[in-house]
Structure 1
């Protein structure tokens, strides 16, 4: 499973595991093994952890709660109480233990509950940091990924160049060619 880590935040990257929410949703956390792979690939844990069906359900609930709260913030709405309860409950759990490895990398150890607790704390950090980078939703119409815009002048308009940025730019180029009377190449 290929995961995209373009959001600039662990919880926003988790929210991105349900792709194309408004059109044809694509679930990337299809089973416990996929969640285990995401946790390791994201850096939430350094070594694979045991994930069962209950942990997968918790991760999906947390993902949806984080997404809803971030959208509430984007739309300047009051936070959804149920989503707040889910995130706050997860954040009150244990944290992963972080050690410095001999090669200079952070090593994160803990169970799936600790990793999800770190994810919950990361969304709280984003939603409570008034001076942090702007929270945005991808400008590509079909994409619903949320991200932190750390670009100069906060002018980034899509979640990532590889998937959405290239497609937006290619579509704009084709539109310009059509309006100029030329055929797109």
Structure 2
């Protein structure tokens, strides 16, 4: 797989395609129109890669940033950015991919507009539903992935164990060993 999906919903994972936002140089996972088409396939929104152009990628990045701004506002208890809200709602009004049943099983064909609509509707569902209270940002200081914490007692700390949880746990282990004067191996 080319992309990671630790958020628990397509909208959170889509917003997380700009990784490590807290670094001076974040990592862009949607670096080409092809990577956008792959993301929609890997996310399960579409069965096949959706052909995308450079203008489609720009539209996707605008949608992604709008979703991200809404997520941050919801987590902070702040008012939603009007432009971000308008963009997400505009896409959410459009038709989404429709699963079909065929002789070989279930399949989903999607246009780019339908894929954008699926992300936008998922953002509406997450931010306007009970999962909104479960949103957390990864505990790795460099990571900016937001996820739905459905763990028992809401004790999840990282977007995923690999790499974030493992990195933090290993650093804590090395720090404890340094404090006790032991070699870390």
Q: What is the TM-score normalised by the length of structure 1?
A: 0.93
Could you say what secondary structure the match of 1:107 adopts?
Answer: strand
Structure 1 residue 2, shift from structure 2 partner = 2.3
Contact in 1 for aligned 2:92/2:117 (Cα 8 Å)? yes
| Residue correspondences, number | 184
Could you say what secondary structure the match of 1:156 adopts?
Answer: coil
Distance 2:150 2:169 in 1: 20
**Structure 1 stretches of 4+ moved >2 Å:** 99-104, 130-133
Counterparts of 1:86-101 in structure 2 under 5 Å?
86-100=87-101
The answer for the alignment partner of 1:78 in structure 2 is 79
Structure 1 residue 183, shift from structure 2 partner = 2.0
Structure 1 residue 59, shift from structure 2 partner = 0.9
Contact in 1 for aligned 2:45/2:110 (Cα 8 Å)? no
Could you say what secondary structure the match of 1:2 adopts?
Answer: coil
Q: Extract unaligned runs of 5+ from structure 2.
A: none
Distance 1:168 1:2 in 2: 23
The answer for the alignment partner of 2:36 in structure 1 is 35
Could you say what secondary structure the match of 2:130 adopts?
Answer: coil
The answer for the alignment partner of 1:163 in structure 2 is 163
Q: Deviations over 1:92-143 (max 9, x none)?
A: 1121011245666x42212011011000000110001136660110010000
The answer for the alignment partner of 1:138 in structure 2 is 138
The answer for the alignment partner of 1:19 in structure 2 is 19
Distance 1:149 1:103, change over 3 A: farther
Distance 1:56 1:16, change over 3 A: same
Contact in 2 for aligned 1:3/1:38 (Cα 8 Å)? yes
Could you say what secondary structure the match of 2:99 adopts?
Answer: strand
Structure 1 residue 72, shift from structure 2 partner = 0.5
The answer for the alignment partner of 2:179 in structure 1 is 179
The answer for the alignment partner of 1:59 in structure 2 is 60
